[in-house]
């Protein structure tokens, strides 16, 4: 993946409409990932995982400043933080049960990043910054395939309204949601953005009804 292909990928998958849902085909992409459980608002594991993911992601981006640009490197912007969200079997999927969340946080990596390069940077960041959560960060290819997505504007707790619009769009266009889990992509920095202005891409896997 060169710089043009990387830019096209971001434009296709990370800039959905605010007004309506859409169907997209999400290819296999490489991510730095961290797993955890619990309410993201109160979980230190969640906070530590975010810090570890950014540490390794920026460590890779700034390799040229150390004179260690890997083969195929191109200048790029570190991708947005993303999250896969699920609940244990038998637990109702509602905001009331935030403490039961099963999550995977992740940041997409450019195509030139290899397993070896990732591990080298992760280990270097662990020595440099001492973030213990870096030990839990892994490098993995993730492919979603056919999905419905939409840009949600506003607080995270208001997401159900956007999910309802997405479900209606699927029903009207012959698609069916495959599973209760969903994907969020955080296009705003929650620490610096008013809750009503937060931009979050919502996505879930679908199948075309025959």
pLDDT score, position 190 = 87
Per residue in 130-146, pLDDT (tens digit) is 999 999 999 999 999 99
Residues 103 and 39 reside in one and the same domain: yes
**123/78 Cα distance (integer angstroms):** 19
Write down the pTM of the prediction: 0.93
Question: Is 89 a residue whose pLDDT tops 90?
Answer: no
- Give 96's pLDDT tier (boundaries 50, 70, 90): confident
pLDDT score, position 1 = 65
- Give 17's pLDDT tier (boundaries 50, 70, 90): confident
**Boundary residue ending a domain (142, 158, 191):** 142
Residue 125, domain extent: 29-142
CATH number at residue 35: 3.20.80.10
pLDDT score, position 21 = 96
Provide the β-strand partners of residue 153: 199
Q: Give, for 144, the enclosing helix (H) or strand (E).
A: none
**Boundary residue ending a domain (108, 142, 176):** 142
Question: Is 30 a residue whose pLDDT tops 70?
Answer: yes
- Give 2's pLDDT tier (boundaries 50, 70, 90): low
Residues 168 and 133 reside in one and the same domain: no
Does any domain span residue 7?
no
pLDDT score, position 16 = 82
pLDDT score, position 10 = 78
Per residue in 32-66, pLDDT (tens digit) is 999 999 999 998 999 999 999 999 999 999 999 98
Does any domain span residue 170?
yes
Helix 115-129 with 44-61: angle, nearest 10 deg? 120
Q: How many CB atoms lie within 10 A of CB 2?
A: 12
**149/185 Cα distance (integer angstroms):** 10
Contacts of 153 (CB under 8 A, 6+ apart): 18, 196, 197, 198, 199
Does any domain span residue 9?
no
Structural domains in the chain (count): 2
Residues 23 and 42 reside in one and the same domain: no
């Amino acid at each position: 993946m060169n710089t043009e292909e990387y830019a096209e990928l971001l434009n296709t998958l990370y800039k959905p409409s605010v007004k309506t849902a859409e169907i997209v085909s999400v290819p296999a992409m490489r991510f730095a990932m961290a797993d955890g459980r619990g309410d993201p608002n109160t979980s230190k594991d969640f906070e530590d995982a975010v810090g570890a993911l950014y540490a390794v992601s920026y460590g890779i981006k700034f390799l040229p400043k150390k004179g260690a640009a890997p083969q195929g490197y191109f200048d790029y912007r570190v991708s947005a933080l993303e999250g896969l969200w699920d609940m244990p079997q038998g637990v109702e999927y509602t905001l009331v049960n935030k403490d039961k969340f099963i999550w995977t946080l992740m940041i997409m990596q450019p195509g030139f990043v290899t397993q070896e390069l990732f591990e080298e940077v992760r280990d270097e960041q662990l020595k440099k910054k001492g973030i213990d959560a870096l030990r839990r960060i892994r490098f993995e290819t993730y492919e979603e395939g056919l999905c419905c997505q939409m840009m949600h504007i506003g607080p995270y707790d208001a997401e159900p309204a956007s999910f309802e619009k997405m479900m209606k769009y699927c029903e009207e266009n012959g698609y069916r949601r495959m599973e209760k889990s969903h994907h969020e992509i955080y296009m705003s920095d929650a620490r610096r953005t008013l809750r009503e202005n937060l931009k979050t891409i919502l996505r879930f896997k679908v199948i075309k009804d025959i």
